[in-house]
Amino acid sequence: MADADILLSEMREKAPLVHCITNHVAMNIAANVLLAAGASPAMVLAEEEAGEFAGLADALTINIGTLTSERLASMKAATAGARNSGKPWVFDPVAHFATGFRRQAARDILDLGPTVLRGNASEILAFSDAPASGKGVDAGDGVEAAEETARRLAAEGNMVVAVTGETDFVTDGRRAARVAGGSPLMPKVTALGCALTCLVGAFVGTRPADPFSATVAAFALYAVAGGKAHPMAQGPGSFAVQFLDALAATTPAELKAGARVTHL
């Protein structure tokens, strides 16, 4: 298990290139989150180049928030490029329970074997038979309700499964951790979860051999930066600005002192 502060130093040293195929809402905030944290974002979307680009990048992230059939083809091409060059990739199954098109797409992408699956509690829970109460892209369930499903998915799929909410949960099927902190304003700014998925890509691209530690480190950085931004904000708008500044300003020493990670 590598500590978050060490991984943050390594990530900033490497400034990994993260190939993001994310949704139209998240595109800008995700690129800004990656830049603020110290990584290098690239939103490369066309099917014709997605596979080739995924091979050049340090990590790939896939998000179905504003899915189209064209984009789905790009996602599949990109995951093939990542797999062929041994690059890690992260999947964010936004609202996959909402429609038949999304359900099928999410199943197909999950079957391709992501390194990390990152969703809110309703999204992870909806991969089981248990009833989930997500409202579109927003979670309606608590993280604890999704923990058992997360552990099972991780063990069966040989991947890291990461559930976000007030206190996050990360497991690789054997190990598990909770990450506390952040701010109640975080779910009031659209696509901060989608941007976190891209940040997980930055850490996993830095430490591809240890995606569990990498995911915990990304979550811990987010939580510490969110906690730092909270008292500076008047509401969701100023929070978004303060949060980017806090991501950039958080040092490894502050992360070490402020991270609230509990290993289970």
Rounded Cα gap, residues 205 and 217, in angstroms: 12
Cα Rg, the chain, nearest whole Å: 16
165 sits near ligand ATP (criterion: CB under 6 A): yes
- Candidate list 5, 141, 147, 168; residue touching ligand ATP; CB under 6 A: 168
Interface residues for ligand ATP in 116-155 (CB under 6 A)? 120, 137-139
106 sits near ligand TZE (criterion: CB under 6 A): no
Shorter beta-carbon distance to ligand ATP: residue 90 or 223: 223
CB of 103 to ligand TZE, least distance (A): 16
191 sits near ligand TZE (criterion: CB under 6 A): yes
CB of 26 to Mg ion, least distance (A): 8
Look at residues 247, 197, 206 and name the one whose alpha carbon lies nearest to residue 57: 206
| Strand 40-42 relative to strand 160-164, pairing | unpaired
Q: Strand (E) positions, the chain?
A: 17-21, 40-42, 59-63, 89-92, 116-120, 160-164, 168-171, 176-180, 260-263
User: How many residues bind to ligand TZE according to rule CB under 6 A?
Assistant: 10
Shorter beta-carbon distance to ligand ATP: residue 32 or 190: 190
Reduced 3-state DSSP string for 104-117: HHHHHHHHCCCCEE
193 sits near Mg ion (criterion: CB under 5 A): yes
* Residue written as token pair 């923990």: 147
66 sits near ligand TZE (criterion: CB under 6 A): yes
Rounded Cα gap, residues 219 and 198, in angstroms: 11
26 sits near ligand TZE (criterion: CB under 6 A): yes
- Secondary structure of residue 19 in the 3-state scheme: strand
- Candidate list 194, 225, 233, 240; residue touching ligand ATP; CB under 6 A: 194
User: How many residues bind to ligand ATP according to rule CB under 6 A?
Assistant: 23
Rounded Cα gap, residues 50 and 73, in angstroms: 9
Torsion of CA 111, 58, 197, 131, to 10 degrees: 10
| Strand 17-21 relative to strand 168-171, pairing | unpaired
Q: Which one of ligand ATP, ligand TZE, Mg ion, none is in contact with 139 (Cβ closer than 5 to 8 A by kind)? A: ligand ATP
93 sits near ligand ATP (criterion: CB under 6 A): no
- Secondary structure of residue 56 in the 3-state scheme: helix
65 sits near ligand TZE (criterion: CB under 6 A): yes
194 sits near ligand TZE (criterion: CB under 6 A): yes
Q: Which stretch binds ligand TZE (CB under 6 A): 18-26, 210-218, 242-250, 253-261?
A: 18-26
- Annotation: binding site: 43, 118, 164, 191
What residues line the site for ligand TZE (CB under 6 A)?
23, 25-26, 65-66, 94, 137, 190-191, 194
- Annotation: binding site for substrate: 43, 191
